[in-house]
Amino acid sequence: MKKFVNKKQGEGEEYRVRDLVLLSTKDLKWQMKGRRSEKLTECFVGLYKVKGIVSSNVIELELSKSIKIYSVVNISRVWLYKLQVEGQKKILPKLLIIKEQEEFEIEKILNKRIIRGKEKFLVRWKGYTAEENTWENRKNLENVKELVEEFERKYGEEVEELRQ
Protein backbone atom coordinates (compact mmCIF):
# COMPACT_ATOMS: atom_id res chain seq x y z
CA MET A 1 0.00 0.00 0.00
CA LYS A 2 2.87 2.35 0.84
CA LYS A 3 4.30 2.16 -2.67
CA PHE A 4 0.97 3.32 -4.16
CA VAL A 5 0.68 6.25 -1.78
CA ASN A 6 4.26 7.39 -2.29
CA LYS A 7 4.11 7.06 -6.07
CA LYS A 8 2.84 10.63 -6.54
CA GLN A 9 4.87 12.08 -3.72
CA GLY A 10 8.22 13.42 -4.89
CA GLU A 11 11.24 14.64 -3.05
CA GLY A 12 10.85 18.12 -1.58
CA GLU A 13 12.77 21.05 -2.97
CA GLU A 14 16.18 21.60 -1.39
CA TYR A 15 16.60 25.21 -0.28
CA ARG A 16 19.92 26.84 0.57
CA VAL A 17 20.77 30.14 2.20
CA ARG A 18 20.76 32.99 -0.38
CA ASP A 19 18.46 31.10 -2.79
CA LEU A 20 15.83 33.31 -4.41
CA VAL A 21 12.20 32.30 -3.86
CA LEU A 22 8.71 33.53 -4.72
CA LEU A 23 6.18 33.82 -1.88
CA SER A 24 2.62 32.55 -2.32
CA THR A 25 -0.14 35.12 -1.88
CA LYS A 26 -2.59 32.49 -0.63
CA ASP A 27 -2.33 33.72 2.97
CA LEU A 28 -1.65 37.36 2.02
CA LYS A 29 -5.10 38.12 0.60
CA TRP A 30 -5.97 40.36 3.55
CA GLN A 31 -2.91 42.52 2.81
CA MET A 32 -3.93 42.90 -0.81
CA LYS A 33 -7.48 44.09 -0.11
CA GLY A 34 -6.92 47.29 -2.13
CA ARG A 35 -6.73 45.28 -5.35
CA ARG A 36 -9.67 45.24 -7.75
CA SER A 37 -10.26 41.52 -7.75
CA GLU A 38 -8.92 38.53 -5.87
CA LYS A 39 -9.15 36.62 -9.13
CA LEU A 40 -6.66 38.97 -10.79
CA THR A 41 -4.19 39.05 -7.89
CA GLU A 42 -0.78 37.52 -8.53
CA CYS A 43 -0.30 33.95 -7.26
CA PHE A 44 3.27 34.64 -6.12
CA VAL A 45 5.11 37.83 -5.16
CA GLY A 46 8.70 38.68 -4.59
CA LEU A 47 11.99 37.63 -5.21
CA TYR A 48 13.05 37.07 -1.64
CA LYS A 49 16.31 35.64 -0.35
CA VAL A 50 16.39 32.66 1.95
CA LYS A 51 17.93 34.00 5.15
CA GLY A 52 18.18 30.69 6.98
CA ILE A 53 17.03 27.09 7.13
CA VAL A 54 15.00 26.38 10.29
CA SER A 55 14.16 22.75 9.51
CA SER A 56 13.66 20.51 6.49
CA ASN A 57 10.28 22.10 5.75
CA VAL A 58 10.62 25.59 7.26
CA ILE A 59 12.78 28.48 6.01
CA GLU A 60 13.36 32.08 7.03
CA LEU A 61 13.09 34.80 4.37
CA GLU A 62 14.39 38.35 4.01
CA LEU A 63 11.04 40.07 3.44
CA SER A 64 10.44 43.66 2.40
CA LYS A 65 8.97 45.95 5.05
CA SER A 66 5.73 46.30 3.10
CA ILE A 67 4.84 42.64 3.80
CA LYS A 68 3.85 42.45 7.44
CA ILE A 69 4.10 38.74 8.14
CA TYR A 70 6.46 36.61 10.16
CA SER A 71 9.59 35.87 8.12
CA VAL A 72 9.60 32.13 8.93
CA VAL A 73 7.42 30.23 6.44
CA ASN A 74 6.67 26.66 5.47
CA ILE A 75 8.21 25.53 2.18
CA SER A 76 4.71 24.85 0.84
CA ARG A 77 4.26 28.66 0.68
CA VAL A 78 7.37 29.34 -1.42
CA TRP A 79 8.53 28.44 -4.90
CA LEU A 80 12.18 28.28 -5.91
CA TYR A 81 12.92 31.01 -8.45
CA LYS A 82 14.50 29.76 -11.62
CA LEU A 83 16.56 32.23 -13.61
CA GLN A 84 15.07 33.34 -16.88
CA VAL A 85 16.18 31.86 -20.14
CA GLU A 86 19.18 33.67 -21.63
CA GLY A 87 17.99 36.50 -23.83
CA GLN A 88 14.82 36.87 -21.77
CA LYS A 89 16.37 38.78 -18.92
CA LYS A 90 14.14 41.25 -17.12
CA ILE A 91 15.50 44.74 -17.50
CA LEU A 92 14.81 46.92 -14.48
CA PRO A 93 14.14 50.57 -15.24
CA LYS A 94 17.03 52.99 -15.08
CA LEU A 95 17.18 55.58 -12.34
CA LEU A 96 16.43 59.19 -13.22
CA ILE A 97 19.02 61.81 -12.31
CA ILE A 98 17.34 64.81 -10.71
CA LYS A 99 19.44 67.54 -9.07
CA GLU A 100 22.52 65.28 -9.23
CA GLN A 101 20.72 62.49 -7.34
CA GLU A 102 19.47 59.18 -8.70
CA GLU A 103 15.73 58.69 -8.20
CA PHE A 104 13.14 56.13 -9.25
CA GLU A 105 10.37 57.18 -11.63
CA ILE A 106 6.82 57.22 -10.25
CA GLU A 107 4.07 55.72 -12.40
CA LYS A 108 1.16 56.98 -10.29
CA ILE A 109 -0.10 57.67 -6.79
CA LEU A 110 -2.58 55.07 -5.59
CA ASN A 111 -3.73 56.18 -2.14
CA LYS A 112 -3.23 58.70 0.64
CA ARG A 113 -3.34 58.34 4.41
CA ILE A 114 -2.57 60.44 7.46
CA ILE A 115 -0.57 58.94 10.30
CA ARG A 116 0.01 61.10 13.37
CA GLY A 117 -0.77 64.20 11.34
CA LYS A 118 1.69 63.39 8.53
CA GLU A 119 0.49 62.76 4.99
CA LYS A 120 1.74 59.64 3.25
CA PHE A 121 1.08 58.57 -0.32
CA LEU A 122 1.05 55.03 -1.71
CA VAL A 123 3.34 55.16 -4.76
CA ARG A 124 3.44 52.78 -7.75
CA TRP A 125 6.97 52.77 -9.16
CA LYS A 126 7.35 52.61 -12.94
CA GLY A 127 8.60 49.22 -14.12
CA TYR A 128 7.98 47.46 -10.79
CA THR A 129 5.22 45.16 -9.60
CA ALA A 130 2.54 45.89 -6.99
CA GLU A 131 4.43 44.35 -4.06
CA GLU A 132 7.10 47.02 -4.53
CA ASN A 133 4.60 49.86 -3.86
CA THR A 134 5.64 51.98 -0.88
CA TRP A 135 4.18 54.66 1.38
CA GLU A 136 6.14 57.89 0.93
CA ASN A 137 6.03 61.17 2.86
CA ARG A 138 4.90 64.26 0.97
CA LYS A 139 8.40 65.78 1.27
CA ASN A 140 9.84 62.82 -0.67
CA LEU A 141 7.52 63.63 -3.57
CA GLU A 142 8.62 67.22 -4.19
CA ASN A 143 9.81 66.41 -7.73
CA VAL A 144 6.38 65.05 -8.74
CA LYS A 145 4.11 67.75 -7.33
CA GLU A 146 1.88 67.54 -10.41
CA LEU A 147 1.09 63.86 -9.67
CA VAL A 148 0.28 64.71 -6.04
CA GLU A 149 -1.96 67.61 -7.11
CA GLU A 150 -3.70 65.44 -9.72
CA PHE A 151 -4.38 62.76 -7.10
CA GLU A 152 -5.76 65.32 -4.63
CA ARG A 153 -7.97 66.91 -7.32
CA LYS A 154 -9.35 63.51 -8.27
CA TYR A 155 -9.96 62.11 -4.77
CA GLY A 156 -10.13 65.22 -2.58
CA GLU A 157 -10.03 64.56 1.14
CA GLU A 158 -10.99 60.89 0.98
CA VAL A 159 -8.13 59.68 3.17
CA GLU A 160 -7.67 56.98 5.74
CA GLU A 161 -7.02 58.49 9.19
CA LEU A 162 -4.71 56.27 11.24
CA ARG A 163 -3.44 56.79 14.77
CA GLN A 164 -0.58 54.36 15.18
- Cβ partners under 8 Å of residue 157, min gap 6: none
The letter for the amino acid at 160 is E
Which class is 97-156 in CATH?
A: mainly beta
Each residue of 51-108: pLDDT tens digit? 999 988 899 998 877 777 888 998 888 888 887 666 655 666 666 666 666 778 888 8
Give the number of other Cβ atoms within 10 Å of residue 72's Cβ.
13
Tell me how far apart the terminal alpha carbons of the chain are, to the nearest angstrom. Answer: 56
Annotated domain spans of the chain:
13-80, 97-156
DSSP assignment letter at 19: -
Split at pLDDT 50, 70, 90, the class of 158 is low
Q: What is this structure's pTM?
A: 0.48
Which residues, in sequence order, are bridge partners of residue 60? 52, 72
Alpha-carbon gap, residue 61 to 50, rounded angstroms = 5
> How does 124-160 read in b/e, with b if 16+ C-beta sit within 10 Å?
bbeebeebebbbbeeeebeebeebbeebbeeeeeeee
* Percent of the chain at pLDDT exceeding 70: 70
Closest CA to 161 of 123, 111, 125, 106: 111
Mean of the pLDDT values across residues 105-115? 86
DSSP 89-125: ---PPPPEEETTEEEPPEEEEEEEEEETTEEEEEEEE
